[in-house]
Structure 1
Amino acid sequence: MGEASQKANRAVSEAATASRSPALRILARAGFVFIGLVHILIGLIALQIDRGQGGQADQSGAIGSLASKPGGTVLLWAGFAACAALALWMLSEAAFEARSQTESKKKLQKAAAAVGKAVVFGFLAFTFVVFASGGSKNSSQSASDFTARLMGAPAGVVLLVGLGLAVVGAGAFYVYRGVTRKFMKDLQDPGNARTAVEWIGTIGYAAKGVVLAVVGLLVIVAAATADPSKSSGLDGGLKTLGSQPYGVFLLAAIAAGLVCYGAYSMARARYGRF
C-alpha cells in the first residue's frame, strides 16, 4: 500500500511539473490580462448603466461586447486559451501545495484556495468559448435558473442561504485583502510602479468585495422570499447598488473600482509570482 501511495504521489508530482512549461507560464500570465480586460469592461458598462443607458454589467456582457468588435472572435479564442491555461496552472499550484512540507492544515487551505481559483478561471474560459463559438449567455438568467433549481431540491433553501453567506464572506475577504494590501504578496517587487499598483489594487479589491457581498445578500433574499428572480448575479448586484439612495454616486464609485481591479489584474500579469 505504501509503495502504491508513493507511485501515486510521484505521478501527481510529475504531472504538476509537466504542466508548468514555459509556454503555459506565458499563457497563464496572459490569463490575468484577459481577467483585467473583462473587469474593465464590466466597470465601463456599469458606468453606462449609471448614465441611464442599457447594458449587462457582468462577465457575459463584457465578453459579449468583445465579440461584437472587429476581430472579436480571434480575441475570444485567445481569452479562452489564456484563462484555461491559468486554470490549469492553479490546479498545478494545488498539487504542489498538497505535497508541500508545510503544516497540514495550512497546506490544505492553500490547495483548496488554488482549486477554487481554478474553478473561477475555468468558468471564465468556458464563457469565452461559448461566445467564440457563436453562442451567447445571460449570466443573470443563469443565476436565477440555478437558484430556482436549487430551491426545489431537498434542503435547497438551507443550501442557498449557506451559498449566499459564503459569497458574502468572499466579499468581506476581498475587502480585507484590499484594505490590508495583502494582495501584494501575489506580486514580485513592482519597483517604481509599486505605489500605483498598491492604490489600484486596494481600490479594486475593495470595490469587488462590496459587489460580491451584495450578490451574496441577493441570494439570501431570494431564498428567504422564495423568489429566484432576486438572485441575479453580478449585473443584478450592481443594479441593486444603483437603485439605492445616492445610488448614482455609489454605482459610479464601484464601477471605477472595478476598472481599478482590472488594471491591477493586468499589473499582476506583469509582476505576478509564477
Structure 2
Amino acid sequence: MGNASQGANRAVSEAASASRSPAVRILARAGFVFIGLVHILIGAIALQLSQGHGGEADQSGAIGALASKPGGGILLWAGAVACAGLSLWMVSEAFFGARSQSDPKKKLKEAATAAGKAVIFGFLAFTFAVFASGGSKNSSQSASDFTAKLMAAPAGVVFVIAGGLAIIAAGIYYAYWGITQKFMKDLQDPGDARTAVEWIGTIGYAAKGVVLAVVGVLIIVAAATADPSRSSGLDGGLKTLGSQPYGVFLLAAIAAGLICYGVYSMARARYGKF
C-alpha cells in the first residue's frame, strides 16, 4: 500500500514537473501571442463589417485569413502547438497551481477557472490544426448545429438556456475583470509599459465581456424561440451588434476593443507570470 502511494505521488510530481518545464513555459508564452493575433484579426474583420464589407468575425474567420497567406500552413501548425502548450500549462495550473491557495473556496475557483481556460485553449489548438491540415469550419454554423442537437435532447432547452446564462456570466466576469483591472494580477510588473498595458487591458476585457454577453443572449433567444439558427456564435453576436441603432459605431468600438484585447494578450506573453 505504501509503495503504491509513493508511486502515485512520484507520478504526480513528474507530471507537475513536465507540465511546468521550460519548454512548456515557452510554448505557453507563444500561445498567448497566437491568441493575441487571433483577436486582432477578429477585430480587424469586425471593423470591415462596420464598413459594410463581408467576413466571418470569429476564430474560424481569423484562422482562415492566416491560412490564406504565404507560409500560412507553417504558421497555423505553430499556432496549434503553441496553443496546445498553453492548454497543458493551464491544466497544470488547475491541478497544481491552485494548491498555493489555503482557502478551499478560492482553491476550487482557481482550479475551475484554469480548467475552463485549458479547454478553450485546447479547442483553439484543434481549430488551428484543422485549418493547417487543409480543412475548414464555419463557427457560426457549428454553434447553430450544436444548439439544435442539444435542444432536441431531453431537457435540452434547459441546458441551452443554462449555457447561455453561463456565457452571459462569463461576459460580466470579463467586463468586471477589465474595469477593476484585476487582470494585472496575472502579470509581472510591466515597468514603464504599465499605464499602456492597463489601458489596453481594461478596454480589451470590457469589449470581450460585451461580446460574450451578446452571444449568451442570442443562445437564450434561440432556446426561447425554438430557432437554433439564432445561436450563431461570436460572428453572429458581432453582426447583431452591428444591426442595432448606431450599430456601425458600436461595432467599430467593440472591434477596436477586441484588437486591444489581442495586444494585451501579446503583452501577457511578455509579462505574464509563468
Q: Please confirm whether the aligned pair reaches a TM-score higher than 0.5, indicating the same fold.
A: yes
Q: CA deviation at 1:20?
A: 1.4
The answer to whether structure 1 residue 229 and structure 2 residue 229 are counterparts is: yes
Pairing 1:58-137 to 2, within 5 Å after superposition:
58-97=58-97, 99-100=99-100, 102-137=102-137
* Match of residue 266 from structure 2: 266
Q: Structure 1: which amino acid aligns with 2:243?
A: S
The alignment of Structure 1 onto Structure 2 pairs a total of residues equal to: 274
Q: CA deviation at 1:102?
A: 1.5
Structure 1: how far apart are the matches of 2:141 and 2:133? Answer: 20
* Match of residue 28 from structure 2: 28
Q: Structure 1: which amino acid aligns with 2:194?
A: R
Q: CA deviation at 1:17?
A: 1.3
Q: CA deviation at 1:182?
A: 0.1
Q: Structure 2: which amino acid aligns with 1:85?
A: G
Note if contact 1:12-1:95 (Cα within 8 Å) is conserved in structure 2.
no
Q: Structure 2: which amino acid aligns with 1:221?
A: V
% identical aligned pairs: 81
- TM-score normalised according to structure 2 size: 0.97
- TM-score normalised according to structure 1 size: 0.97
Unaligned runs of 5+ in 1: none
Unaligned runs of 5+ in 2: none
Cα deviation digits, residues 60-118 of structure 1 (max 9, x gap): 00000000000100100000010000000111111113544622222121111111000
Note if contact 1:97-1:108 (Cα within 8 Å) is conserved in structure 2.
no
Structure 1 stretches of 4+ with a deviation exceeding 3 A read: 1-7, 97-101
Structure 1: how far apart are the matches of 2:108 and 2:9? Answer: 16
Q: CA deviation at 1:141?
A: 0.3
Q: Structure 2: which amino acid aligns with 1:11?
A: A
Note if contact 1:13-1:96 (Cα within 8 Å) is conserved in structure 2.
no
Note if contact 1:13-1:95 (Cα within 8 Å) is conserved in structure 2.
no
RMSD of aligned residue pairs (Cα, Å): 1.3
Pairing 1:194-205 to 2, within 5 Å after superposition:
194-205=194-205
Pairing 1:121-200 to 2, within 5 Å after superposition:
121-200=121-200
Q: CA deviation at 1:21?
A: 1.4
Look up the SS of the partner of 1:18 in the other structure.
helix
